[in-house]
Amino acid sequence: MLRAEEHEADTLVILDTCYASNLVERGLSGSGISRKFELLSAASIDQTTAPPGIYSFTRALIDKLRESLDKYGDRPFSTFRLTQDINLSEHRAHSPAHLWFKSVNDQSIFLAPLFNEKEKTSENALRKSKGRLTLSFDLRDSTLNRDQIKYLATKLTKAVGGRPLLGIRGINWHGITRVQHNTINPSVAVIFAVSRWKKLVHRRREERAMNSELDKGISLSEDSNRQE
């Protein structure tokens, strides 16, 4: 069934069972296959394999897949390389795995990690970005509902997304901040402040003039007393 021509993708079958390789005796190398088909078996023909535990094929497979992820990152690696790494494991030295394949070009299947597309896009955007532009929109309302957010996201994406001239790597949503406004109009507040400043200046001038008149009166009184 897995080798039927109705399947378009390459197929990799992994069997951790005793006598797993005996499947090839039933015609793995049959003709008419236009895609890659591989069998990674825990044991060779007519051979048994270790039970679940540290010596099992599955344990070695998991360990080597994790090591391959650290080693290759998002780059692909072949099933041939994976099988070789499994057989080089200290716990599998006496029970090697076997890779059987049928391919139109005798090439191995390549494996690669399947990342979440949204996370991958976000990571690539952050990694490639060299600058960040911050804009703010003054809104009529203190918040937006789901429909408004969807509309805004759609319009922004169509307006600036994928424009080579801008080179935008991503648009990030950082939330909405409510703005507290004063009840006094800014222009009125300025006029009020200027008026108060003028009154203060005028009052200080009057105080200085009054003090000057008092000083003159005291001086004349002292001169009159001296003449008497």
pLDDT in tens, the chain (228 residues): 555 555 667 888 999 999 888 888 766 555 555 678 889 999 888 888 888 998 999 999 999 999 998 888 888 999 999 999 999 988 887 889 999 887 666 678 999 888 666 655 555 555 567 788 888 888 888 888 988 888 888 888 888 776 777 777 777 888 888 887 666 566 667 777 788 888 888 888 888 888 777 766 666 566 565 555
Q: Is residue 92 part of a domain?
A: yes
Given this model, what pLDDT does residue 16 score? 92
Given this model, what pLDDT does residue 92 score? 84
Q: Is residue 29 part of a domain?
A: yes
Q: Is residue 40 part of a domain?
A: yes
Q: Is residue 51 part of a domain?
A: yes
Q: Is residue 211 part of a domain?
A: no
Specify whether the CB–CB gap between 111 and 83 falls below 8 A: no
DSSP per-residue codes, 104-149: SSS---EE-----HHHHHHHHHHHH-----------SSSS--HHHH
Q: Is residue 52 part of a domain?
A: yes
Domain extent, residue 84, equals 11-111
Given this model, what pLDDT does residue 79 score? 92
pTM: 0.47
Q: Is residue 31 part of a domain?
A: yes
Domains: count for the chain: 1
